[in-house]
Structure 1
Amino acid sequence: MILINLLPHREAAKKRRKEAFQVTMVMAALIGAAIAGGVYWWFQNQIENQQARNAFLTREIKQLDEQIKEIATIESEIAALRARQKAVEDLQADRNLPVHLLTELVAQMPDGIYITSVKQVDQTVEMHGMAQSQERVSELLRNISGNTPWFAKPELLEIVAANATLSPKDVRRVASFKMRFRLMRASDLKKEADAAEKAEKAEKAKLPKGNANGK
């Protein structure tokens, strides 16, 4: 009978398996380290790219802020120019206001009234006068309110009974009054006319076609 000792062979096989396992573990560790390094590098690259984009956006935002400031400056300059232009136009228009004031006062003044003083501040006119009766003052208010576009918002501030001395022997009982109204510029009249025209067109647009044509 032949006996074969297998113990050294088994030990050698076990040793080889152990060494193979260790090699596998080392390789797995190296591969894991390489994957981790690759992932870290990828994330680091993404972070650097994002930081570069953020820096680019920051520079662009600063440039836009400067442009916005320039635009705001330009807009303020344009607004100032428009304000100066309007002031010049108002001054040119106001040169004719005293003419319209005197012309319309003569046209709208009823008999039995005479003016003692007229004071104009900007577009507000304050007028003092004497009238034969309160009815004459009421007639003047109606004329100013409805007969001329150059006067607006008339207000009777005061009316009292007074004596008017025409001569040493002629003293008459009169109504002393004080009123205030607004003197309109030509630009104001144009705005009112445009607004009235728009309102009229809008009203006609609401009506049926038959009614708009008068049928």
Structure 2
Amino acid sequence: MSNINLLPWREVDKKLRQQRFFTFSGISLGATLLVMSMLNMVIGGFIDNQKQRNTLLMQEMQVIDVKLGKIKELRGRKDKLQERIALIQSLQRSRNTPTHLMNTLPQLIPAGVNLAKLTFKNDIIKINGTSDSNTRLAVLLRNIEESTWLIEGDLDSIVALPGEEGNRFEMRFSVTPMKTEAGS
């Protein structure tokens, strides 16, 4: 029994196993390459699709930026128009103020008070004049305070004139905006 040689059978079996190993390795390598190339194509398709979407979004953002610029320009125009409208409404409300002032002022000024100068600027009226006594100036201030549209009467200065001529004074007061006929 010692003469039996089992080596050739083992060599054939070893060659068969090596052949199967290399075959399965080649098949698995081919399958792996096939799967990798398919995944590469699929992922490449996703990337191309995303790039197209990004390009579309960038184009839409540019269109929206242009529209936003137009909206900002329109808002600027709107603000300018609203300022003009407010100015016109302000002028409309105050257009009769000088006439109303000239009609009301003689009723407010007591006898013995003479006006020399009247200045009307930014709803503030400054008057200069003379009076017989300080009492008459107090009456004038009281009349201004009791008025419904004249406010903040303030006597800036009183200077006694030489002799019995009276006093020189400077006074200022404000005008409240008058209501228009439409009630605004």
Using structure 2 for the length normalisation, give the TM-score.
0.84
Which consecutive residues of structure 2, in runs of 5 or more, have no partner in the other structure?
A: none
Cα displacement string for residues 125-179 of structure 1 (whole angstroms, at most 9, x for unaligned residues): 111121222232222222212x22221222221111114xxxxxxx623121111
Number of the residue aligned with 1:178: 170
- Equivalent residues, number: 181
Over the matched positions of the two proteins, sequence identity in percent amounts to 28
SS at match of 1:110: coil
Structure 1 counterpart of 2:119: 119
Contact 2:115–2:127, Cα closer than 8 Å, also in 1:
yes
1:61-117 deviations in Å (ceiling 9; x for gaps): 111111111112222222222222233333333331111111221222223312111
**CA deviation map 1:167-210 (0-9, x unaligned):** xxxx623121111122232259x77xxxxxxxxxxxxxxxxxxx
RMSD value over aligned CA atoms? Answer: 2.4
Matched, 1:66 2:66: yes
Task: State the alpha-carbon separation in 1 of the partners of residues 103 and 33 from structure 2.
Answer: 102
1:150 match: 149
- Structure 1 residue ranges without an equivalent (≥5): 164-170, 192-215
| Aligned residue identity for 2:156 | L
* Alignment-derived partner of residue 132 in structure 2: 132
Does the C-alpha gap of structure 1 residues 135 and 38 become closer, same or farther in structure 2, counting only changes over 3 Å?
farther
Rounded to whole Å, the distance in 2 between the matches of 1:16 and 1:140 is 129
Q: Which amino acid aligns with 2:50?
A: Q
Alpha-carbon distance, 1:17 to partner: 0.4
Q: Which amino acid in structure 2 is aligned with residue 183 of structure 1?
A: V
- 1:154 and 1:62 map into 2 onto residues whose CA distance is 60
1:131/1:175 contact within 8 Å kept: yes
- Structure 1 distance, partners of 2:56, 2:138, is 76
Q: TM-score, normalised by structure 1?
A: 0.73
Q: Secondary structure at the match of 2:130?
A: strand
Which residue identity lines up with residue 113 of structure 2 in the other structure? I
Distance across 2 between alignment mates of 1:118 and 1:156: 14
1:6-53 deviation line (CA, Å, top 9, x unaligned): 432221111010010011111221222223223323332222222222
